[in-house]
A and B are shown apart, each in its own frame.
Chain A
């Protein structure tokens, strides 16, 4: 027994090392699987607030551009307002139409922290459970797709960015309607790949890529980017397409969190298919 104790005290350095290393590997593996470390992430109270303060200061430097973007968006919304339409024929009657339901609700938020240079990038937003944010909601900016809410704390939420290896977005070529998926890989934060587009589709540089609406996260028709270059690798049935994002993820600040009102209904229905199998 005494020898054993002596053995431990003599090699305490190595044991402490192995102990700490095990803890950190456990953290690493756990964190990578679930991403639900409650305390030590940037949506925790202390660091979240710190980033919020810093962002508050940084915000002043971008006010001009922000205002411009918001003004443009206001103009767009204004022009789709019913008041900006005039009746062409005096005889038309407005009928209250019950065949339309609201499907998505947008709420605005600010990005207070974020990365673009890692293999798996996240943004932190200043809205949390108190604002009704839940994991799995989509996030877009006024210029395009941003990501999916992953972790939520009381006042903050972290968003798995489109710039994340495991975050594939279901996308559509606006012109032809073919559906593929947008996948980003480490490297240039402005460019992603559009996969699964078969070789008979006609493509052009500059074609607009939008969300398909197949995933339950984003509504259909939100801008993702434009085709920057494409080619057909020899012997392949699918194109290699590079898409330039419409959003500059380094300058992200105002975003919208999308709540899909019919998500649960659709999920329930689709779950029935699995049961039938």
Chain B
């Protein structure tokens, strides 16, 4: 238990640093910014209590906001995403429920399940984020385009990370 928590804390800091120092500086024509850090919320085990997911989301958003000087922006988007996670998990629950101590990964749940799960949540997160940032209805389609393109790049990164986590030997 303690080892798992410790591992998660290390992953948390690595992800935050990666996002804050590297990904925030990557941009494709000042239009698209990938936000890989949301993968932390995606990868939490199924049996994590819902309230804990919310609090983790809040802290994660706050840390990312500290890097970008946009206090509240990432925080609100991540909290909303953490809230939706519970319902998305309920909606796409496989027959017979989730197995104990399984995690939401491509390996355990299958690619199509994971793709649906991740896309919906990343979508929710990015939409809130970009609309909170622009806060203007006049640039609706511009912001929409930014959000869609960023969702695409974040998803590419999320799937690449999943590829790294793939362990053929443990596959049943």
Contact = CB atoms under 8 A, between A and B. Distances in A.
B80 interface: yes
B30 A40 contact: no
A42 B79 contact: no
Interface stretch (B1-9, B37-45, B68-76, B151-159): B68-76
Interface in B49-73: 50-51, 54-55, 57-58, 61-62, 65-73
B118 interface: no
A13 B48 CA distance: 13
B76 A40 contact: no
Interface stretch (A24-32, A101-109, A259-267): A24-32
Which bucket holds chain A's interface residue count?
Answer: 35 or more
Interface of B: 20-21, 24, 27, 30, 33, 50-51, 54-55, 57-58, 61-62, 65-73, 75-76, 79-80, 82-83, 86, 132-134
A25 B74 CA distance: 10
A42 B30 contact: no
A115 interface: yes
Nearest to A19: B54
A24 B30 contact: no
Contact of A24 (B50, B67, B79): B79
Nearest to A119: B133
Interface in A89-148: 115-119, 122
A115 B68 contact: yes
B136 to A, nearest CB: 9
B138 to A, nearest CB: 12
Interface of A: 12-13, 16-17, 20-21, 23-32, 37, 40-42, 44, 47, 50, 54, 115-119, 122, 158, 186-189
Chain B CB within 10 Å — which of A13, A17, A188, A189 has the most?
A: A17
Given A21-B76, A24-B79, A40-B65, A189 B30 contact: yes
**Chain B contact residues: helix, strand, loop or mixed:** helix
B75 A13 contact: no
A27 B73 CA distance: 8
A25 B80 CA distance: 11
Q: Which 7 A-B pairs have the closest CB atoms?
A: A28-B72, A27-B72, A24-B76, A24-B75, A31-B71, A117-B30, A17-B83
Given A16-B51, A21-B76, A28-B76, A42 B69 contact: yes
Nearest to B17: A50
A139 to B, nearest CB: 16
Given A12-B51, A31-B70, A115-B68, 12 more contacts: A13-B50, A17-B82, A27-B71, A28-B71, A30-B71, A42-B69, A50-B21, A54-B21, A116-B30, A119-B134, A188-B30, A189-B30
Contacts of B133: 118-119
Nearest to B83: A17
Contacts of B73: 28
A31 B54 contact: no
Contacts of A26: 72
A115 B33 CA distance: 12
Chain A CB within 10 Å — which of B68, B71, B83, B134 has the most?
A: B71
A123 to B, nearest CB: 10
Contacts of B21: 50, 54
Nearest to B82: A17
A135 to B, nearest CB: 15
